[in-house]
Amino acid sequence: MIERIEALRAQGQDAVAAASTSEALEELRVRYLGRKAELPQMLRGVAQLPPDERGAVGRAANQARQALEALIDARAGELGAGELETQLREDTVDVTLPGAPVQPVGRMHVLTATQRLLEDIFLGLGFTVLEGPEVESVHYNFDALNHTPTHPARARTDTFYIERPQGPQPGSPEELVLRTHTSPMQIRAMEAHPPPLYVVIPGRVYRPDSDATHTPQFHQVEGLAVDEDITLADLKGTLLAFARATFGETREVRLRPHFFPFTEPSVEVDVSCFHCEGKGFLRDGTRCYLCKGEGWLEVLGAGEVDPNVYAYVPTTDHNAPGYDPEKVRGFAWGLGVERAAMLMYGVPDLRLLYANDLRFLEQFG
Amino acid sequence: MRVPLTWLREYCDPALDVHGIEERLTMTGTKVEAIHHHGVHELEHFVVGHVLRAERHPDADRLTVCEVDLGAARPEGPATIVCGAPNVAAGQDVAVARPGSVMPDGTKLKKAKLRGVASEGMILAEDELAIGSDHNGIMVLGELLPNAQLTRGGALAEVLPIATEVLELEVTPNRPDCLGVYGVARELHAATGASLTPAPWNEDPGSGGPLEGAEAEVRVECPELCPRFTARVFHDVTIAPSPPWLKARLMAAGQRPINNVVDITNYAMLLSGQPLHAFDLARIAGRRLVVRRAHDGEQVQTLDGQTRTLDAEMIVIEDGEGPTSIAGLMGGARSEVQPDTSSVLMEVATWHGPAIHRASWALGLRSEASSRFEKGLQPEQCLHAQAIATRLMIELCGASVMPGTIDIGGEGPPPLSLPLRESRVQDILGVPIPRVRQAEILNSLDFATAEVPGGLDVSVPPLRRSDVTREADLIEEVARIDGLEKLPATLPKRRNAYGLLTPTQRLRRRAIDALVGRGCYEAVGWTFAAPSIADRLQLPAEDERRRPVVIENPLSEEQSQLRTMLLGSLLDVARHNVAHGEPDLRLFEHGTVFRWKDDKLNEHRSLAVLLCGKLAPSDWKNHSAASDPPAADLFVAKGLLEALADTLRVSDLVFASEPQPFLHPGRSASVSLGATPIGWLGELHPLVAQTWELPGAACFEIDLDRFLAHASRPDYLDLIGYPPLRQDLAVVLPEQVPAAQVLDVVRAAAGKLLADVRVFDVYSGPQVGEGRRSLALSLAFRASDRTLSDEDVTPVRERIIAALGDLGGELRG
Ligand SMILES: [Zn+2]
């Protein structure tokens, strides 16, 4: 018996050593260790042996079985690793093919992206964002912003009026217009909140102009800061921060005196040209097309809040103690989103912004 | 406004070149928009010549071959110049352009052969130099410049103003005083410190008081529209061309010379900013002028031969035979100055600016005069212009002025006196400006100042009356002249300020980001809509979207309404892109829509999505027809909206079958939040798709404001400690029972333990029988305090099955 066991063990060892595939090895496992194989049969038959043989045979058979088992497992590990390697090699794909399925990518409109950027800049400077109605009363759009009753901007040639069959008489403060600027929200903001006030107001505005450089609707980001000690120098610093955040950190701003009914002093704000670094001409000596040789780009209008404007803000429970021009001062600006977007991205024609051609939209946002 | 630099320098001549002047004017508030060059270039080639001989060209009747003495400019002897002008003759002093000259239009003159004769340059007519418009003959300098010293070979520029830089200025509406050359000179004086000559109207050869001789009578019936009307009378007027210097100035300023009287009116306007009008006194019927409002519908024939229809807000000037002109806008032909005019009534009036602005736009009549009047001129300017014109009428037309001036309305109110606190300047600007400097600046701008404790008392000159009325206005004057470039850049204190978007603003950004992340392109369309959109969307007569907000003065019929929904603009965008070869579209837009609610105008933000064609490009891995990328349909649009709701944590989104006039009747749904309708969803009606030339589209539009208001703020729930128990259930129901109803019934029957239920499969076919379908539901049960067992859930499941039975459902399988 013992001899047979040793023979089986030796035979098995040789066979396992010779097996070259996992498949062949599994056959050997069945042949030597399976239910009907000789070695397990012997183990089961140990009980029928004379008692003095049982111990030795049982031990030998058991050892042989364990040894073969261990051998087969080890060999299986060896073979498996090699086979997996081969199989993985065969599974190689062309990684340079496109991703699939294609994930469609969307885009935010360049005006939205630009407006967000501007909002974020002023959020970072401590301003909050307010929004307001696009149809405004003449009171908010003109009267409260210190436009004289005969100011030309009120004319039907310069402002869209809303038709109201039983509405107020022309010239009434209750007449409705499409707001011509985001500035009416200056008044609404002051009506709703006491000073100090630091807000920006993005939004769509309307004027009856339509040509290469005007669309009848466009977007502005209004700014308003009112506190007890605001100066024109603070306006300059705030807009310098905006200019550098938007157009590059080496930008400078210059304030040029101008006129707006609701600011005094009023200024136009130029930013040094980022295309020619404010020189007006390029390295090859040609005139800079962007600033037309001026070295400066006109970007927005601004000024110190005209004291008359505060007088239009009634003191209420919401904004107590109210806005007293001897006690508060402020600055305001109105910035064109289209202009900023066109400058930032080099968009040559305003009308592209509203054509919504996919070949344009896919380039931004 | 165009200001010839040589003219400007006559009153204020700082030691700066044109760019230096540009910089000072721009930085003090008078922006130089452009610098033009008017006239010729390469001045050294333009000389005075003397015609020694003039003989007909041997081969051309109309040409004359001239021998011209150019003195030192051509020491080797006279030049041969071929001339085409009929008036050239020996003995004349003439203007000569030699080869190398560059003419006003930029062409460079070369030696040329004219019919076989070599010509060394050109003998010039005034229009060739752009100092006049006459091309009937060459300039005979001796006649034109009787007092000039003409040297043969001498520089032409010494005797004729043949070149100047011209500043194109942007004058802000508050500064009509800068609409004249002298006003700009005063700015330049203040901006540079260079001295300023006395005003050109300081010496007035005319006089005030009643007009002598009662030769004309004026009545102003509408003083509210005509604050001042002045007139002077001139006799012995000789109408003739103006002298070269005057023509040249007008040309450089952009005005065409006509005759001396008309040119004088234009010159005086350009210098003082105040327009004038010259009447032929003899042609004023009844020698009587009446200024009155026009009648509504009154028709007037203007100088240009057109008939204009007026209204009561416009002003006419009439004589004994009716209207002769529309005030401030255009004169009438009847009383115009003619070659035979010998007596002139010079009218200078102040008109109500806004009335002129309005009339000018309404009638489409714009002129140098109207653009000045509409800004609102001061009454004092009338006599400024009269003084300048009177001097020139006497000098250039040989006229005599009648003593006295018709003057209705007179000067404006006396000068305003304003206090200027020295410290307030620093408060506003952030930097101090000493009181002495403040006074210096104000004085240079013609304000009178007096020192008082703490600051200055400032008296406002009449021409600045409407612009400077408060201390703040004075501070602006001081600041702009002292130089805003000196301001430091500081940041405000920002007390109590913090920058943060509101929750709604953040959610709106998130909504946009979610759609963009799912492959949608944002469009920005027009707020304006065409009236025809209601028909194109098949809206029935009673649809409230047929009663939009209407613009009273639209740019065009197509842009005369405010949109009531975004769908129209998205359809327009889709059509544009499909027409340009892009059939697969995923578009969205958010924006304001407008409606009347009772008598109140309601505006809110809307969000619309339009999907068209395939949702993604085909790819190389899944190229069989069966696995082509899905095409847009109701369920894709709905999936997008549901994803949006999920992103923003908007629960309670309810869909119900409901038609919309522009949607496929079987594929349209209302969208509600609970019981509140917020929009619609569906596939486009094929006829509507056809109208927009689209193959079809799936869309939705919702009230974005309400949607965002429903977003819930995240709040921690323990979903980790006790895992859910999941079970599936397949139920066969009559097919007309909507899935939403099934889910509602399940939720109601299950109670609190049911955390989630959704449909994951739908089957209809022979196995479930005609008119029935099977819905496979996945159920998730969860308790917050324990892990649920099957025993916990069994009674719930039984309640669900019973409730489904009430709907006609039976468990499947
Ligand atoms: Zn540049």
B354 contacts on A by Cβ (under 8 Å): 150-152, 155
Q: Name the strand (E) or helix (H) holding B67.
A: strand B60-69
Can you tell me the distance from the alpha carbon of B281 to that of B301, in angstroms, rounded to the nearest whole number? 20
Q: Residue A1 above 80 pLDDT?
A: no
**Of B279, B484, B474, B466, residue with least CA distance to B389:** B279
Rounded CA-CA distance B216/B323 in Å is 16
Residue B598, burial from CB neighbour count under 10 angstroms (0-12, 13-18, 19+): exposed
CB burial of B32-49 (b: ≥16 within 10 Å; e: otherwise) equals beeeeebbbeebebbbbb
Give A206-262 pLDDT, tens digit per residue. Answer: 999 998 889 999 999 999 999 999 999 999 999 999 999 999 999 999 999 999 999
For the CA atoms of B792, B793, B796, B797, the dihedral, rounded to the nearest 10 degrees, stands at -150
Cis geometry, peptide bond prior to residue A101 (ω within 30 degrees of 0): yes
From the number of C-beta atoms within 10 Å of its C-beta (0-12, 13-18, 19+), residue B797 rates as middle
Ligand 1 centroid to A212 CA: how many Å? Answer: 21
pTM beyond 0.90: no
Closest approach of chain B CAs to the CA of A68, in angstroms?
46
Residues B302-317 have pLDDT tens digits of: 878 888 899 999 999 9
Mean pLDDT rounded to a whole number for chain A: 92
Task: Tell me which chain A residue has its CA closest to the CA of residue B424.
Answer: A326
The 10s digit of each residue's pLDDT in B555-597 is: 999 999 999 999 999 999 999 999 999 999 999 999 999 999 8
Contacts of A129 (CB under 8 A, 6+ apart): A119, A122, A123, A199, A200, A201, A202, B501, B502, B505
pLDDT at B442 over 90: yes
Question: Is the model's pLDDT at A284 over the cut of 70?
Answer: yes
How confident is the model over B211-226, as a mean pLDDT? Answer: 91
pLDDT band at A128 (very low <50, low <70, confident <90, very high): very high
Q: What is the mean pLDDT of residues B401-409?
A: 96
Predicted local distance difference test score (pLDDT) of residue B626 = 61
> Residue B58's pLDDT is what?
87
Please state the rounded mean pLDDT for residues B329-346. 90
pLDDT for B116: 86
ipTM, 2 dp: 0.88
Question: Can you give the C-alpha Rg of chain B in angstroms?
Answer: 41
CA distances (Å), A180 to each of A209, A239, A342, B595, in order?
A: 11, 22, 21, 20
Ligand 1 centroid – CA A292 distance (Å): 6
Instruction: With a cut of 70, say whether residue B450 has pLDDT above it.
Output: yes
Q: Residue B204 in contact with residue B41, Cβ under 8 Å?
A: no
Q: What percent of chain A has pLDDT over 70?
A: 100
* Residue closest to B360 by CA, chosen among A214, A169, A153, A157: A157
Average pLDDT over residues A46-54: 84
Q: For residue range B757-806, what is the model confidence (pLDDT) as tens digits? A: 999 999 998 888 899 999 999 999 999 889 999 999 999 999 999 999 99
Residue given tokens 């006229």 in the structure block: B399
| Residue A319: closest CA among A219, A150, A195 | A195
Q: From the CA of A233, how many Å to the nearest CA of chain B?
A: 5
Question: Which pLDDT belongs to residue B430?
Answer: 94
For CA atoms A286, A290, A292, A295, the dihedral sign is negative
Q: Is B773 helix (H, G, I), strand (E, B) or coil?
A: strand
> Among all chains, which residue has been given the structure tokens 């058991």?
A62
| A239, closest residue in chain B (CA to CA) | B489
Say how far residue A269 (Cα) sits from the centre of its chain: 29
**Over residues B255-284, mean pLDDT:** 96
Q: Which among A348, A181, A209, A114 is positioned nearest to B524, based on CA atoms? A: A114
Helical spans, DSSP H, in A193-306:
232-247
SS (H, E, C) A306-361: CHHHHHCCCCCCCCCCCCCCCCCEEEEEEEEHHHHHHHHHCCCCCCHHHHCCHHHH
Which three-class secondary structure state does DSSP give residue B635? helix
Q: How far is CA B780 from the centre of its chain?
A: 62
Instruction: Give the single-character DSSP code of B199.
Output: P
Distance in angstroms between the alpha carbons of the first and the last residue of chain B:
90
Of A49-63, A272-286, B25-39, give the lowest mean pLDDT range.
Answer: A49-63
- Using DSSP's 3-state secondary structure scheme, residue B177 falls into helix
CA atoms of A75 and A87, how far apart (whole Å) = 18
Arithmetic mean of pLDDT, B8-28: 97
Question: Quick one: chain A helix, strand, coil %, rounded to 5?
Answer: 40, 20, 40
The string of DSSP letters for B351-379 reads: --HHHHHHHHHHHT---HHHHHHTT---T
Q: What is the rounded average pLDDT of the residues B509-529?
A: 97
Tell me, in angstroms, the distance from the centre of ligand 1 to residue A356's CA.
29
Cα–Cα distances in angstroms (integers) from residue B94 to residues B67, B79, B90, B651, in the given order: 12, 13, 10, 93
Q: What CA–CA distance (Å, rounded) separates B740 from B734?
A: 14
Q: What percentage of chain B exceeds 70 in pLDDT?
A: 99
To the nearest whole Å, the CA of A222 is away from the closest chain B CA by 15
3-state secondary structure of B141: helix
Which residue from B minimizes the CA distance to A268? B29
Q: Is the dihedral of CA B687, B688, B690, B695 positive or negative?
A: negative
CB contact under 8 A, A307 and B470: yes
Distance CA(A364)–CA(A356), nearest Å, equals: 12
- With CB atoms and an 8 Å threshold, state whether A135 touches B601: yes
**pLDDT tier at B29 (50, 70, 90 boundaries)?**
very high
Tokens of B337: 């100055």
DSSP string, B377-413: --TTHHHHHHHHHHHHHHHHH--EEPSS-EEES-S-S
- With beta carbons under 8 A apart, name residues in chain B contacting A127: 497, 499
Chain A CB contacts of B568 under 8 Å are none
CA distance A200 to A242: 12
Instruction: For residue A72, give how far its alpha carbon lies from the nearest alpha carbon of chain B (Å).
Output: 42
In the predicted model, what is the mean pLDDT of chain B?
94
Residue B103's SS3 state is coil
pLDDT at A31: 87
**Predicted confidence band at B624 (pLDDT cuts at 50, 70, 90)?**
low
pLDDT of residue A54: 84
Separation CA B392–CA B413 (nearest Å):
29
> Is the pLDDT confidence value at A150 over 80?
no
* Alpha-carbon separation of residue B360 from A93, A148, B311, B368, B808 (angstroms): 76, 19, 12, 11, 78
Give the pLDDT score at B813.
67
Angle (CA) B450 B452 B453, round 5°: 160
User: From CA B6, how far away is CA B18, in angstroms rounded?
Assistant: 10
End-to-end CA distance of chain A: 85
**Identity of residue B451:** E
Ranges A143-152, B476-485, B773-782: which has the least confidence: A143-152
3-state SS class at B304? coil
pLDDT band of A49, cuts 50, 70, 90: confident
How far is B697 from B699, CA to CA, in rounded Å? 6
pLDDT higher than 70, residue B122: yes
Residue B178 gets the label, from left (phi > 0), alpha (psi -120 to 50) or beta, of alpha
- Beta-carbon neighbours within 5 Å of ion ligand 1: A 273, 275-276, 288, 290-291
Look at residue B448 and give its three-state secondary structure: strand
User: Tokens in use for A159?
Assistant: 């402002």
Other C-beta atoms within 10 Å of A319: how many?
A: 18
Do A358 and B622 lie within an 8 Å CB cutoff?
Answer: no
- Across A14-18, A140-144, B383-387, B525-529, least confident range: A14-18
**Tens digits of residue pLDDT in B137-195:** 999 999 999 888 899 999 999 999 999 999 999 999 899 999 999 999 999 999 999 99
Residue A173 confidence (pLDDT) above 80: yes
pLDDT value at B214 more than 80 = no
Map out the domains of chain A with their CATH numbers. 2-90 (no CATH), 110-361 (3.30.930.10)
Mean pLDDT of B22-33: 96
Smallest Cβ–Cβ distance between A234 and the set B491, B616, B622 belongs to: B491
Is B614 part of the contact surface with chain A (CB cutoff 8 Å)? no
At B463, list the tokens.
């021409």
Phi then psi dihedrals of residue B802, to 5 deg: -65, -45
Asked if residues B213 and B392 have their Cβ atoms less than 8 Å apart, the reply is no
Question: What residues pair up with B586 in beta bridges, in sequence order?
Answer: B611
Angstrom distance (rounded) from CA B445 to CA B463: 10
3-class DSSP state of B440: helix
Report how far apart, in Å, the C-alpha atoms of B42 and of each of B6, B49, B107, B432, B568 are.
17, 17, 11, 48, 61
Question: In this predicted structure, what is the pLDDT of residue B760?
Answer: 95
How do beta strands B122-123 and B93-97 pair? antiparallel
Q: Cβ of B522 and A108 within 8 Å?
A: yes
Query: Torsions phi, psi of A286, nearest 5?
Result: -80, 160
- Dihedral pair phi/psi, residue B641, rounded to 5°: -65, -40
- Cross-chain residue pair A178–B502, CB shorter than 8 Å: no
